[in-house]
Amino acid sequence: MVRGRRNVIELAVRLVIVSLIGGAGALVLRAGESPVAVRLTRDGHFKQRPVWSPDGKQVVFTRHRGAKMEIAVMSADGSGEKTLTTGKFPQYDACWSPDGTKLAFTHVPQSGTQGNLDIFVSRLDPFEPKKFVGDRGPLSHEEYPAWSPDGKWIVYSSTAEGNQELYAAEVDGPARRRLTNDPAFDAHPAWSPDGNKIAFATSRWGDFEIAMMDADGGNVTRLTESRGLDDYPVFSPDGKRLAFLSNRDSNYEIYCCDADGANVVNVTQHPALDNFPAWTPDGRLAFVSNRDDVWEIYVMDVRGRESRK
């Protein structure tokens, strides 16, 4: 969370929801038709960034309970929910390690938005968080971690050197790498399943767009070009597609495209707000939505339909 325009963009994005969309085969829709979304959660609290465990059996997500932001985990069918984090300071945006035994997440060590943001890591059982990255300077924000497929690196955004850039930190070693170096804001990274690419959101072309780069930060390529905001990219399990948030049609929806940015499709097509896409291991896609007047997690299956261009 940084100052100025990025704060405005981030606030707008945070005021949307999470849902799920599926498709092990090619992503397809009939023209003008929207698939049915199945609601997974029902507690009435705002949710963000649902992430499925590698074995597909659990979902970790962030829940806003009053002024608190806490990390919870539940079974993939929405049952057996358990709150993992405790304390009065926000903890949010968790992601799984590739072996499903650990979580990395953002921790706010003091109240308000003016304190540092740190990355913590913990085993799932027992849940005992330890600082992974943090204390790199006054008002340094390390956030939105994403684990590499081989489990050796965590990529995250940081303002440690002034501007919001992307970095990678070695999980079991001292190495730290700065991946981006641009006056614009770079945020919300996602690894490709083969570990060779990182998709991310960036303001380097004006409004936030989706870009792709090599895992070492080289060969940055622009994938989307719209008059709205494109953000929160996530790779499909086979690495062939990306899902992302966009308001290019004046409403926040979940879109999908090929990994090279081609064949963009609005997959939610709903007047409500949809946000925070996440693929399930079997190829379904998830998102948060307020379509039932509360911010809950939904699942949508778009398989077996005629392609919509």
Digit-by-digit pLDDT tens for the chain (309 residues) are 444 444 433 433 433 333 333 332 233 333 445 567 888 998 889 999 999 999 999 999 999 988 889 999 999 999 999 999 987 789 999 999 999 999 999 998 765 445 689 999 999 999 999 999 876 666 789 999 999 999 999 999 999 888 999 999 999 989 999 999 999 999 999 999 999 999 999 999 988 999 999 999 999 999 999 989 999 999 999 999 999 999 999 999 999 999 999 999 999 999 999 999 999 998 888 999 999 888 999 998 865 333 332
307 within a domain of the structure (yes/no): no
Domain count of the chain?
Answer: 1
For residue 88, tell me if it sits in a domain. Answer: yes
Q: Give a yes or no: residue 40 inside a domain.
A: yes
Is 226 a member of any domain? yes
Distance of CA 153 to the CA centre of its chain: 17
308 in a structural domain: no
306 inside domain: no
Q: Is residue 309 included in any domain, yes or no?
A: no
Which residue range(s) make up the domain with 216? 5-301
Check which CATH number belongs to the domain holding 207 and give it.
Answer: 2.120.10.30
Question: In angstroms, what CA-CA distances link 209 with 19, 92, 132, 227, 249?
Answer: 21, 23, 29, 9, 14
Query: Is residue 262 assigned to a domain?
Result: yes
